[in-house]
DNA sequence: CTAGGTGCAAAGCGTTTGCTCGGGG
DNA sequence: CCCCGAGCAAACGCTTTGCACCTAG
């Protein structure tokens, strides 16, 4: 069942790849995972479709400083934590004891939202730091 | 008075340019602002020094999705709001009624911090949207 | 004298885009 | 048939880097 218009085999499998992976794949992750089954697939197509799928709200893009963007098929409100070592991203659910972050917008500005990203070291990158600094 | 070791005229003026500008300049902003007084200055040097100054904690880097990084000479705890139109960044002070954002870190992860960025439309970009969609 | 910084230019990376061809409806 | 979308490769914007020269200490 195709829910959106503008069908193509590639678009379908790119969406499925993001939904299936619980790992917030990068464009290249998606490309690499699909390439074996579809040897003609091109990276440009992956980028185009990921952006398209984001624009129609079927997936979300996670922009990360100094790491390639990642994509997320989970549309419910949640936050992410990124490993500052390897760039891996996991879901976390944040508690805001006093409500969501809020500011007094500067004069003349129209607030649109905020982005909140936690960062830290994942288990395996933490281990590596231990080894390097014994 | 030179507070840090490893002095150079360029490094000094790059630091001063960031401190003097209240506008969270990009590397290129700094380059353009200094070029007239120092025609031999190269963009690579600006990048190198901005990164160096950040690494020793004299300035902070603000990473922004889809816009060049910006640099901030204000070291006190504060937040930023970025215009989704033109990329301009202003300081805002966020109030967290119940304390700063907090999460239960995933098993094995070592939390390091978080980044919080508000976004919206600045006065002049908001005006332009009004004109385009009357 | 020498350690480190500069200037320059080229390369790097992730991402986007122009063009032509192909396949779905 | 027609049009959207794929494939390919080149271009893009920002940033980093290799190398030879220069400069502060």
pLDDT digits over A93-107, tens only? 777 766 677 788 888
Using a CB-CB cut-off of 8 Å, the residues of chain A touching B95 are: 102-103
Mutate to test the interface with B, among A70, A115, A129 (most CBs of B within 10 A): A115
Predicted confidence (pLDDT) at residue B116 exceeds the cutoff of 80: yes
Which residues partner with B64 through β-bridges?
B67
B93: confidence class by pLDDT, cuts 50, 70, 90: confident
What angle, rounded to 10 degrees, do the helices at A43-55 and A27-34 form? 120
pTM above threshold 0.85:
yes
Report chain B residues whose CB lies below 8 A from the CB of A101: 94, 96, 101, 116, 118
Residue B54, CA distances (Å) to A104, A123, B1, B48, B62 in order:
28, 27, 19, 10, 10
- A132, pLDDT greater than 80: no
Grouping H, G, I as helix, E, B as strand and the rest as coil, residue A111 is strand
Q: How confident is the model at residue A85 (pLDDT cuts 50, 70, 90)?
A: confident
- Nearest by CB to A117, which of B98, B99, B114? B114
Q: What mean pLDDT comes out for the span A51-72?
A: 95
∠ CA(B90), CA(B54), CA(A122), 5° rounding?
95
- To the nearest whole Å, the CA of B44 is away from the closest chain A CA by 18
Query: By mean pLDDT, which of A14-23, A67-76, B121-130 is the weakest?
Result: B121-130
Distance between CA B86 and CA A66 in Å, rounded?
21
Which pLDDT belongs to residue B129? 57
DSSP element (H, E) containing A54? helix A43-55
User: Tens digit of pLDDT for each residue in A10-28?
Assistant: 999 999 999 998 889 999 9
Least CB–CB distance from A98: residue in B66, B90, B97:
B97
Q: How far is CA A25 from CA A42, B24, B33, B73, B116, in A?
A: 16, 32, 40, 35, 22
pLDDT-based confidence at B125, cuts 50/70/90?
A: confident
| Contacting residues 25-44/B vs strand C (CB within 7 A) | 38, 40-44
Phi then psi for B123, rounded to 5 degrees?
A: -50, -45
Q: What pLDDT is recorded for position A6?
A: 63
Q: How far is the CA of B32 from the C1' of C18 (A)?
A: 32
Q: Which residues of B touch A126 (CB under 8 A)?
A: 108-110
Q: Show which positions of strand C are touched by protein (CB under 7 A).
A: 4-10, 13-18, 24-25
Which tokens is A51 given?
């952006």
Per residue in B10-59, pLDDT (tens digit) is 999 999 999 999 899 999 999 999 999 999 999 999 999 999 999 999 99
Å from the A53 CA to the C16 C1': 16
State the pLDDT confidence band at A129, using cuts at 50, 70 and 90: low
Joined together, the tokens standing for residue A71 give 């994509």
């Amino acid at each position: 069942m195709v829910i959106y218009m503008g069908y193509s085999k590639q678009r379908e499998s790119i969406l499925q790849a993001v939904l299936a992976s619980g790992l917030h794949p990068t464009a290249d992750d998606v490309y690499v995972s699909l390439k074996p089954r579809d040897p003609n697939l091109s990276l440009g197509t992956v980028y185009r479709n990921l952006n398209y799928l984001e624009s129609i709200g079927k997936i979300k893009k996670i922009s990360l400083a100094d790491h390639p963007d990642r994509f997320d098929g989970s549309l419910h409100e949640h936050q992410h934590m990124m490993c500052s070592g390897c760039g891996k991203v996991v879901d976390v659910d944040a508690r805001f004891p006093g409500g969501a972050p809020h500011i007094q917008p500067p004069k003349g500005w129209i607030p649109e939202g905020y982005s909140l990203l936690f960062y830290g070291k994942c288990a395996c990158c933490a281990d590596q730091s231990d080894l390097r600094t014994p």
